[in-house]
Amino acid sequence: MKNFGSFDSYADALKAACPLILSKPNATVGYLQDSNPDLARRTATEYCAWLYYTPEHQYEMSMLTDQSSPDDLVTGKRSCLLPTFVNDLRYASGDLKYIFALHNHPFGSRISPQDTRFIEQMASVHEWVIKTKNNSEILLSVIAFFSKSKDSAAPTCDGFYQYTPATHTMVMWTQTQSRWKQVVLDQDGP
């Protein structure tokens, strides 16, 4: 994506991606939920992108997918359709390593069943574990950014949910004054 990165660490890429995605129109509507839930539902918009690792050991974000195109707005669906592969003309498609399926949850909710199914389907196409330089390993996961901000013009990045299909683990990461907390949840079989 132009004007984004590239980054030497995926943490820096996440740090940049979170406010960028949440700053898009109607990417966060939680502040409307009590006062005008109908407006919140109608305007809520999801954006999604891949964070991927290049042969040059850089972390990049793909173009944002916005499925709130006119076709989608006339239905009630509020989903985000993320293409399976990134088309980065600098590299052969097979040379890219897919790490995080990024998107936003306008209401700040946790990973949905469809999110988990999506990333599990992606795990049948992409590697579950990728090796970076120095033999570090990263697991494929889906991430949903959220903001608790009441200011729609300047939403803050307050954290994200992350689901890792390889371990069936969901983590809620929250940020307060640059300190991070996590709650680790395991998905139990029904």
Q: Between residues 89 and 184, which has the closer beta carbon with respect to another protein? A: 184
Backbone angles phi, psi at 80, to 5 degrees: -140, 120
Q: Which residue has the tokens 């897919």?
A: 98
**Burial classification of residue 128, based on how many CB atoms lie within 10 Å of its CB (0-12 exposed, 13-18 middle, 19 or more buried):** middle
Which positions from 50 through 109 interact with another protein, judged by CB under 8 A? 67, 71-72, 74-82, 84, 99-101, 103, 105-109
Encoded amino acid at 83, one letter:
P
Count CB-CB contacts under 10 A for residue 23. 16
Does 143 participate in binding another protein (rule CB under 8 A)? Answer: yes
Q: Between residues 89 and 186, which has the closer beta carbon with respect to another protein? A: 186
Does 115 participate in binding another protein (rule CB under 8 A)? Answer: yes
Q: For residue 31, give the DSSP letter.
A: G
Pattern 14-53, binding to another protein, x per CB under 8 A?
A: xx---------------------xx--xx-x-x-x-----
| Shortest reach from residue 149's CB to another protein, in Å | 16
Peptide bond into 6 cis (omega under 30): yes
Does 118 participate in binding another protein (rule CB under 8 A)? Answer: yes
Largest CA distance in the chain: 51
Stretch that binds another protein, among 20-28, 89-97, 179-187 (CB under 8 A): 179-187
